[in-house]
C-alpha cells in the first residue's frame, strides 16, 4: 500500500511507545498515533511519512478501549504537558512498566534483567506537582498570557488551572498578574516566565525569571522532617513519591558493607540523608545546593560528609580512584544523563555498587550500556516510581552490582 500525507485509514493500536504515542504496524512500518490506546481501532489521517515510520492523527475512535477515560483538563490535547489523561491510571502504570523494559532492552541491550522489584504509584494521580513554570507571552494587544506551550510548539496556551499541580499552586495562578512583581513583569517588553513553588513548610512563592538570590532556603518536609532547598534549586516535584525514592535508597544501600558513598549530582543531598552511617561525598554544580546539603547533613545526623561544588563528571574520577572496592556510587543526573567522563571513571575504578536514579529511561539505557560494558556490572534490583502521573515520564532506580571476574 502507498502511504501518503492526508490519506485516511483504519488501524488497530498495538502499543504505546515511550513518549506517549500509540503504535500501529502497517506493512512492516511503524505508525505513531498520539492519544491512542492499545487494543483500540481508530481511523487515522497520515500527517507525515518518513523513511522508517509514519505519523498520523486520530480522526475517529472506531472501537474505544475500556481503559479510555475523560481527561480532567480542558486544555488536554492542546497542551504539551500531559500525554496520558485519556488513559485510566492503572493502565498508565502498566504501560510505563512495559516501556521501561523495552527501552532498557532496545537501547541498553540489557536482556537479562530481574523483574522490577517495586512499582510505586503516585498517591495523588492529580494535584501532585509542587512547582510549575509558566511561559509569559504578550499578545498583540499587549495582554500578558501565562501558560504552557501548545503541542504545536508555536502558541502559548492561557493556563488558569493545571490539574496536576497542587491546589496551592493553582490558587497562585490566579494572583500571578496581581502582585507588584507580576505588574512589573507585565510591563516588560519581553516578560519573564513565572515559577510557582510550593514547599511543605513554607508559604507558596512566585518568582519571575530566575530565583532572586539571597532568599531564605525553602523548607521541604521529608518523612516528617525538615529538609532545606534553595529557592531556585532542584527538588523532586512530587513530594509524596519522593519519600519512596528516599526510603528505597536507604533500604537498598544501608545493607551494603561498603563504607563510602559518592552522591553525584546530589542537589541538596536528598538521596544521601538517610545513609547517616556511611562516609558521604556529595558532588553538585549548584553552589547554593551544596551549602544547603551541608546544613541538611548536620541536621539529619550524617556522621561523616564532604559536599563539594563542581562538575560531577569531572570530579567522580578523583574520588573513585583507588577506592572502587569500598565505594557505592549514586548517580542522579538531569534528563540528559551522565557524561562520558563519568562512564570512563566507572570503567577505570569500578565502584562495587552503583545506584542510577533517572527521570529519562532512554538516557538511562544508553548510560547503562556503557557502564555494564558487556558484563562489568549486572542489574541487581530495579524500581519504577511514578513521579509524573498523567505524563509519559517516570522515575527509575537501577541498582548495579559489580561482576567479580576470575583473573
148 is a contact residue toward ligand SAM (CB under 6 A): no
Spell out where 155-297 has E strands.
194-197, 205-208, 218-222, 225-229, 260-264, 279-284
The percent helix, strand, coil of the chain (3-state, each to 5) is 25, 30, 45
Which of 234, 252, 353, 394 is in the footprint of ligand SAM by CB under 6 A?
Answer: 234
285 is a contact residue toward ligand SAM (CB under 6 A): yes
DSSP 270: G
- Interatomic CA distance for residues 37 and 13, integer angstroms: 6
User: Given the rule CB under 6 A, which of 135-143, 151-159, 327-335, 383-391 is the region that contacts ligand SAM?
Assistant: 327-335
User: Given the rule CB under 6 A, which of 32-40, 177-185, 251-259, 308-316 is the region that contacts ligand SAM?
Assistant: 308-316
Cell of 236: 523532586
User: Given the rule CB under 6 A, which of 113-121, 155-163, 234-242, 293-301 is the region that contacts ligand SAM?
Assistant: 234-242
Cell of 228: 532545606
286 is a contact residue toward ligand SAM (CB under 6 A): yes
270 is a contact residue toward ligand SAM (CB under 6 A): yes
340 is a contact residue toward ligand SAM (CB under 6 A): no
Which of 284, 360, 386, 395 is in the footprint of ligand SAM by CB under 6 A?
Answer: 284
Least distance from ligand SAM to the Cβ atom of residue 120, Å: 15
10 Å CB burial of residue 117 (0-12, 13-18, 19+) is middle
383 is a contact residue toward ligand SAM (CB under 6 A): no
332 is a contact residue toward ligand SAM (CB under 6 A): yes
Least distance from ligand SAM to the Cβ atom of residue 129, Å: 15
| 3-state SS class at 206 | strand
- Interatomic CA distance for residues 390 and 91, integer angstroms: 11
84 is a contact residue toward ligand SAM (CB under 6 A): no
C-alpha separations of 136 from 152, 182, 185 in Å: 17, 11, 9
10 Å CB burial of residue 322 (0-12, 13-18, 19+) is exposed
User: Given the rule CB under 6 A, which of 82-90, 190-198, 233-241, 321-329 is the region that contacts ligand SAM?
Assistant: 233-241
227 is a contact residue toward ligand SAM (CB under 6 A): no
- Residues of this chain that bind ligand SAM (CB under 6 A): 234-236, 265-267, 270-271, 283-286, 289, 311-313, 332-334
Amino acid at each position: 500500500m502507498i502511504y501518503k500525507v492526508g490519506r485516511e485509514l483504519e488501524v488497530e493500536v498495538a502499543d504505546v511507545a515511550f513518549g506517549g504515542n500509540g503504535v500501529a504496524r502497517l506493512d512492516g512500518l511503524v505508525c505513531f498515533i498520539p492519544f491512542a490506546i492499545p487494543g483500540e481501532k481508530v481511523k487515522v489521517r497520515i500527517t507525515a511519512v518518513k523513511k522508517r515510520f509514519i505519523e498520523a492523527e486520530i480522526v475517529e475512535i472506531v472501537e474505544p478501549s475500556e481503559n479510555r477515560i475523560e481527561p480532567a483538563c480542558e486544555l488536554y490535547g492542546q497542551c504539551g504537558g500531559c500525554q496520558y489523561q485519556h488513559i485510566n491510571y492503572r493502565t498508565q502504570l502498566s504501560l510505563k512498566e512495559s516501556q521501561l523494559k523495552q527501552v532498557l532492552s532496545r537501547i541498553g541491550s540489557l536482556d537479562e534483567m530481574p523483574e522490577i522489584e517495586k512499582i510505586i504509584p503516585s498517591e495523588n494521580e492529580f494535584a501532585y506537582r509542587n512547582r510549575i513554570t509558566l511561559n509569559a507571552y504578550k499578545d498583540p494587544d499587549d495582554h500578558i498570557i501565562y501558560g504552557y506551550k501548545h503541542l504545536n510548539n508555536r502558541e502559548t496556551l492561557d493556563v488558569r488551572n493545571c490539574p496536576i499541580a497542587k491546589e496551592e499552586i493553582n490558587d497562585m495562578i490566579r494572583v500571578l498578574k496581581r502582585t507588584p512583581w507580576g505588574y512589573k513583569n507585565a510591563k516588560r517588553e519581553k516578560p519573564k516566565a513565572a515559577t510557582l513553588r510550593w514547599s511543605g513548610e513554607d508559604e507558596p512563592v512566585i518568582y519571575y525569571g530566575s530565583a532572586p538570590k539571597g532568599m531564605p532556603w525553602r523548607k521541604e518536609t521529608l518523612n516528617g522532617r525538615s529538609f532545606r532547598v534553595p529557592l531556585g534549586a532542584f527538588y523532586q516535584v512530587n513530594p509524596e513519591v519522593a519519600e519512596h525514592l528516599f526510603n528505597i535508597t536507604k533500604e537498598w544501600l544501608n545493607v551494603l558493607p561498603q563504607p563510602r558513598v559518592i552522591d553525584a549530582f546530589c542537589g541538596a543531598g536528598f538521596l544521601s540523608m538517610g545513609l547517616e552511617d556511611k562516609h558521604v561525598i556529595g558532588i553538585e554544580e549548584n553552589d547554593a545546593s551544596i551549602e544547603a546539603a551541608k546544613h541538611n547533613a548536620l541536621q539529619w545526623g550524617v556522621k561523616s560528609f564532604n559536599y563539594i561544588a563542581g562538575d560531577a563528571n569531572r570530579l567522580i574520577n578523583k574520588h573513585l580512584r583507588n577506592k572502587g572496592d569500598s565505594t557505592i556510587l549514586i548517580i542522579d543526573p538531569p534528563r540528559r544523563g551522565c557524561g562520558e567522563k563519568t562512564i570512563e571513571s566507572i570503567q577505570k575504578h569500578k565502584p562495587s555498587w552503583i545506584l542510577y536514579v533517572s527521570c529519562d529511561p532512554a538516557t538511562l539505557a544508553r548510560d547503562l550500556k556503557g557502564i555494564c560494558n558487556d558484563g562489568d556490572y549486572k542489574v541487581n534490583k530495579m524500581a519504577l516510581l511514578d513521579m509524573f502521573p498523567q505524563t509519559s515520564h517516570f522515575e527509575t532506580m537501577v541498582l548495579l552490582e559489580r561482576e567479580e571476574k576470575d583473573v
